[in-house]
């Protein structure tokens, strides 16, 4: 692959407001990344008219027509069988076939995960993909995974997530030596269920060359106590959405406060500029674009309900990862980690 | 029990800043509830000097001396065996023996739960206690349970939590017909793990006379989509602490914004009064005092790290529950619910 022209595959039909939102989002991304080309997978009859209003994109994309789509409520197993010609699957296959450096979809998460796993296959040493995303904290930015790919995880999965999160924090967030923590209901070793305790014991034992902090609690996520928060997909999904909802609640309370009296309204006028900075710093669209880690290819999942600005940011994540050769680095690092893990596991295996 | 003098038992040695924080908190509560008497369980040598500075409380309390305490890192099973004379256990036993109408502790949650279960026993029809608390939402206040009593729950436990949460919302929040939801990673029926799907199927089938909304997601908690959020103790604990941490993060961001320029500082001066209302509405101390539901007695758990104001609020929760004869009402309602569940279960049992 030459660096001259980076191509990103887009599932043009995925997302609540697709395909309009996808086309608008890609048009915004065009201004930001002038050298990227896009493959749009979807219904040509619906996409063509939209491209008339997205001139920048129109000159830098190719449409790959398909009328099939994956509905939001389709089970992943059904999508795998019936969705082989869907916009989502064909966009993923373009990455497998080397036609695109990465794929972005705002569609059905479970289906995207299942299809990506089948089409792209897992990296050596990783059993299951994980969804990772970064978010604002008191100390900068941190990454959390899994955010919903696996509703149930065993200790081994959590250890692999720790390894992937470590690489992600180093390559994407630029942490030199990321601090990794496992999400739990308390910081003491005895807390939590078997899976988190066993995973923590493995990491504490130094099986992997990562800096393990121990257990963290829910309030440690926004506090930024660690750079990488490791958890199962059920808990991670709930935690992420709870944080987003709480930020929204707070914003509403503030809006109400500033409208409650004319004195407060004057206060708002003075503080407006500074408050807008807070809003932009905590804007969920800024953090849109979750990465499916552990696959032989770059797959970015956008929020289904995002707008064009949010979708453009998700494209940005895919472009950044492709430009920085994220997957090559994660593959190298995982090989090293897996070797270390095997070395660490050998004496234990012999002792059984 | 006569309504003339309500007595509340306090674990004076539980909490990060105990016993000072407990004594100060009870002294604040004395001003709010002039007719309540307190039984203080703890080390008399440490409590006596503190009572000199808490004159209101000094006249309305009795000390029950014990030198034993339950450390924060003690396993519940160990606390059960070794803590029979601890301040926590003796305070619980006072409720069992009818000497107090309820107990408040800011100590080790697991130990409190285990001891309360052994000493007070469970209500008929409930297998496990659950921790419940209320919190601010876009639409008022909602209740969530379990918040950490049970890190693993089966479908049956979740159904029982739904029943208890329903009663709690009616008696404490005053909802006439509370809307109950189960926390999940999506709203579709196929989402989540076996436990949440089975619990939802039972509630959807009308086994209990409650208004079941279906699945809710993390952002529905602060949105107030339902009045009662039902979840396992692991997820509930993480969600609650994530929400608290996010509120704190937002407050910090705002503080920074108002300090970032002199124009913003002027804005703050104008808006200060309205902003303080938001702060008081979202003050975690206002929502301090989680209730251990499902027991034959009123047990309130305060945050371990709270201050005197927060502890006074936790006492307030116990006083409110005792005054409103919460446990009598929950017992009646549970009997009705359990009867309805048995009736609903009979035809199914016959069909097997």
Nearest CA in chain B to A253: B278
Q: What is the pLDDT of residue B1?
A: 42
Which of B191, B254, B267 to substitute to test the interface with A, most A CBs within 10 Å? B267
Please judge whether B241 and A261 are an interchain contact, meaning their C-beta atoms are less than 8 angstroms apart. no
Share of chain A above pLDDT 90, in %: 61
Select the residue from A72, A244, A249 to test the B interface by mutation, using most B Cβ atoms within 10 A: A249
- Nearest-CA residue of chain B relative to A138? B249
User: Beta-strand (E) ranges in A198-273?
Assistant: 211-216, 228-230
pLDDT of residue A343: 63
Q: Which of B185, B193, B253 sits opposite A282 (nearest CB)?
A: B253
Residues of A in contact with B254 (CB under 8 A): 254, 275, 278
Nearest CA in chain A to B261: A274
Q: How confident is the model at residue A337 (pLDDT cuts 50, 70, 90)?
A: low
Integer CA distances (angstroms), A38 to A12, A307, A315, in order: 11, 19, 10
CA distance A18 to chain B (A): 20
Find chain A residues with C-beta within 8 A of B261's C-beta: 273-274
What CA–CA distance (Å, rounded) separates B291 from B191? 30
- Percent helix, strand, coil in chain B (nearest 5)? 50, 20, 30
Residue B351: what pLDDT?
37
Q: Which residue in the block uniquely carries the two structure tokens 């930020």?
A: A247
- Cβ–Cβ of B239/A257 closer than 8 Å? no
* Probe site for chain B from A111, A112, A185, A286 (most B CB atoms < 10 A): A185
- Domains annotated for chain A, with CATH where assigned, are 1-123+294-324 (3.40.718.10), 127-287 (3.40.718.10)
User: Which residue from A310, A334, A293, A331 is spatially nearest to A148, judged by alpha carbons?
Assistant: A293
CA of A110 vs chain B CAs: smallest distance (Å): 10
Find, among B22, B176, B168, the residue nearest to B105 by Cα.
B22
Whether residues B247 and A250 touch (CB distance < 8 A) is answered with: yes
**How far apart (Å, rounded) are the C-alpha atoms in residues A207 and B246?**
33
Q: Which residues, in sequence order, are CB contacts of A292 under 8 Å at separation 6+? A: A112, A113, A116, A129, A130, A131, A149, A299, A300, A301
The pLDDT assigned to B259 comes to: 85
Are A274 and B261 within 8 A, CB to CB?
Answer: yes
The answer to whether A270 contacts B275, with C-beta atoms less than 8 Å apart, is no
Q: What are the tokens at A256?
A: 């109400």
Backbone angles phi, psi at A170, to 5 degrees: -75, -45
Angstroms from B148 CA to nearest CA on chain A: 7
3 state DSSP class of B99:
coil
Q: For chain B, how many residues are written?
A: 352
List pLDDT tens digits, range A300-309: 999 898 999 9
Would you call B249 and A222 a contact, using CB atoms and an 8 Å cutoff?
yes
CA distance A269 to chain B (A): 7
Say whether A258 and B274 touch across the interface (CB within 8 A): yes
Q: Do B193 and A151 touch (CB under 8 A)?
A: yes
Q: What is the pLDDT of residues A59-81, one digit of tens each?
A: 999 999 999 999 998 999 999 99
Profile chain B (352 residues) by mean pLDDT over runs of 10 residues: 75 96 97 95 97 94 96 93 97 97 94 95 87 90 92 92 89 88 91 94 87 96 97 96 91 85 83 81 79 92 92 92 79 70 51 36
Q: Do B218 and A233 touch (CB under 8 A)?
A: no
Spell B5-29 as b/e; 16+ CB within 10 A means b.
Answer: ebbbbbbbbbbebbbbbbbbbbbbb
Determine the residue of chain B that is closest to A250 in CA distance: B247
Q: Between chains, do B270 and A275 touch, taking CB under 8 Å as contact?
A: no
Instruction: Please spell the DSSP secondary structure of B272-317, one letter per residue.
Output: HHHHHHHHHHH-GGGG--EEEETBSSEEEE--TT--HHHHHHHHHH
User: Measuring CA to CA, which residue among A4, A12, A38 is closest to residue A302?
Assistant: A12
Cβ-based contacts of B221 with chain A (< 8 Å): 242, 245
The answer to whether the CB atoms of B267 and A270 lie below 8 A apart is yes
Sequence-ordered list of residues with C-beta below 8 angstroms from that of A286, at least 6 positions apart, any chain: A280, A313
Closest residue, chain B, to A265 (C-alpha): B271
Number of other residues whose CB lies within 10 A of the CB of residue A205: 11
Share of chain A above pLDDT 70, in %: 94
The helix/strand/coil state of A184 is coil
Residue B266: closest C-alpha in chain A = A270
pLDDT in tens, A253-301: 888 888 888 888 888 887 888 888 887 777 777 777 889 999 999 999 9
Please give the pLDDT value at position B239.
Answer: 97
pTM: 0.86
Helices (H) and strands (E) in chain A, counts: 13, 11
Q: Which residues of B270-301 are buried (b: 16+ CB within 10 A; e: fewer)?
A: bbeebbeebeeebebbebbbbbbbbbbbbbbb
A159: closest CA among A352, A334, A343? A334
User: Residue A127: pLDDT above 90?
Assistant: no
Report CA-CA distances (Å) from A197 to A62, A102, B149, B283: 50, 36, 17, 33
Which tokens go with A200? 């923590």
Pick from B188, B271, B282: CB nearest A271: B271
CB contact under 8 A, B274 and A253: no
**Best interface-test mutation with A: which of B140, B220, B239, B245 has the largest number of A CBs within 10 A?**
B245
Helix and strand numbers, DSSP H then E, in chain B? 13, 11
Looking at beta carbons, which residues of chain A come within 8 Å of B267? 266-272, 274
Cβ atoms of A307 and A21 closer than 8 Å: yes
CA B25 distance to own-chain centroid = 17
């Amino acid at each position: 692959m030459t660096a001259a022209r980076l191509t990103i595959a887009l599932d043009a039909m995925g997302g609540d407001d697709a395909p309009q939102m996808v086309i608008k989002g890609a048009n915004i991304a065009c201004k930001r990344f002038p050298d990227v080309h896009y493959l749009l997978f979807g219904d040509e009859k619906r996409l063509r008219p939209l491209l008339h209003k997205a001139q920048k994109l129109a000159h830098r994309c190719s449409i790959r027509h398909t009328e099939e789509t994956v509905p939001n409520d389709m089970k992943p197993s059904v999508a795998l069988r019936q969705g082989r010609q869907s916009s989502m699957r064909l966009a993923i296959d373009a990455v497998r076939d080397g036609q695109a450096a990465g794929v972005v979809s705002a569609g059905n998460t479970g289906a995207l995960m299942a299809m990506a796993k089948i089409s792209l296959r897992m990296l050596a040493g990783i059993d299951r993909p994980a969804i990772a995303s970064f978010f604002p904290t008191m100390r900068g930015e941190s990454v959390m995974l899994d955010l919903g790919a696996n509703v149930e995880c065993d200790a081994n999965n959590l250890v692999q997530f720790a390894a992937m999160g470590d690489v992600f924090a180093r390559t994407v967030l630029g942490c030199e030596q990321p601090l990794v923590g496992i999400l739990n209901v308390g910081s003491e070793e005895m807390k939590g269920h078997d899976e988190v305790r066993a995973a923590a014991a493995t990491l504490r034992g130094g099986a992997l060359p990562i800096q393990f902090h121990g257990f963290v609690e829910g309030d440690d996520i926004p506090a930024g106590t660690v750079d990488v928060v490791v958890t199962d997909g059920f808990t991670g999904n709930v935690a992420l959405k709870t944080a987003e909802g709480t930020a929204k609640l707070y914003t509403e309370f503030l809006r109400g406060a500033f409208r409650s009296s004319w004195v407060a309204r004057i206060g708002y006028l003075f503080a407006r500029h500074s408050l807008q900075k807070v809003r932009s710093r905590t804007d969920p669209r800024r953090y849109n674009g979750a990465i499916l880690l552990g696959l032989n290819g770059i797959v970015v999942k956008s929020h289904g309900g995002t707008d064009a600005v949010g979708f453009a940011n998700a494209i940005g994540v895919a472009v950044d990862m492709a430009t920085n050769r994220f997957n090559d680095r994660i593959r190298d690092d995982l090989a090293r980690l897996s070797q270390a893990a095997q070395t660490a596991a050998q004496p234990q295996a012999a002792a059984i």
